[in-house]
Amino acid sequence: MISATQSNHPIAGVAMTGPTPAEFACARLRQAGMRVTKPRIAIIELLSRHPNPISIEKVHTGLNDRKCDLVTVYRCLATFEELGLVRRSFLHSGTCLYELTLGGRPDCYHVFCRQCGRIDPVDYFAVEAPMRSLEERGYTAISHVVEFFGVCPQCRGAAMRDQLTTIATRA
């Protein structure tokens, strides 16, 4: 039996009094005929503590006290993605980031700053309308890939300051 390390968690679709992310993932793994291993549980628990998507490398570093190599982390995340336990998003650089969704829709989407890599939440409403419209047109089992990229206010501010400095030096 896996011990519950968290009773409350902000994952969408799972009631506060419901199973912990680890318990949910265990059930899903068993249902799919897969083994519940220590690295798998450790990764789910780690992801449940991160509100923003994180890279494979960050997952790996986060598991520092456990013997789990990068290939194992990669394989676990690929399995979780297949089972719908995590959602994969892509940074502008092509790096993959993972967030826990536990079979439900993500709580929100994220916008990635192209310059500093900062991640901010984007409301789920952003994709609700097209999803509904597809359902109305008779589509079922709809999946989607939505990524937002931009330049964050801080980077924009810095760029504007640089420009002003250049103008001032020229004058």
Rounded to the nearest whole angstrom, what is the least distance from the CB of residue 115 to Zn ion in the complex? 5
Min. distance of Cβ 140 from Zn ion in angstroms?
39
How many CB atoms lie under 10 A from the CB of residue 102?
25
Token pair 């190599």: residue: 69
CB of 154 to Zn ion, least distance (A): 5
Distance CA 49, CA 69 (A): 20
Contacts of residues 74-78 at CB distance under 8 Å and 24 or more positions apart, as own/partner, are 76/39, 76/40, 76/43, 77/43
Look up tokens 């399995």; give the residue: 79
Residue 61 or 154: the one with the smaller Cβ distance to Zn ion is 154
Residues 90-149 that bind Zn ion (CB under 5 A): 113, 115-116, 118
Nearer to Zn ion by C-beta: 10 or 157? 157
Of 78 and 155, nearer to Zn ion (C-beta) is 155
CB 43, CB 66: distance < 8 Å: no
Which H or E run contains 100?
strand 96-100
Q: 151 near 114, Cβ under 8 Å?
A: yes
**Residue whose CB is less far from Zn ion, 12 or 151:** 151
Nearest to Zn ion of 72, 115 (CB atom): 115
Residue 150 Cβ vs Zn ion, minimum distance, rounded to whole Å: 8
Q: Is 152 in the site for Zn ion (CB under 5 A)?
A: yes
Report the nearest approach of Zn ion to the CB of residue 155 (Å). 3
Q: Which residues bind Zn ion (CB under 5 A)?
A: 113, 115-116, 118, 152, 155
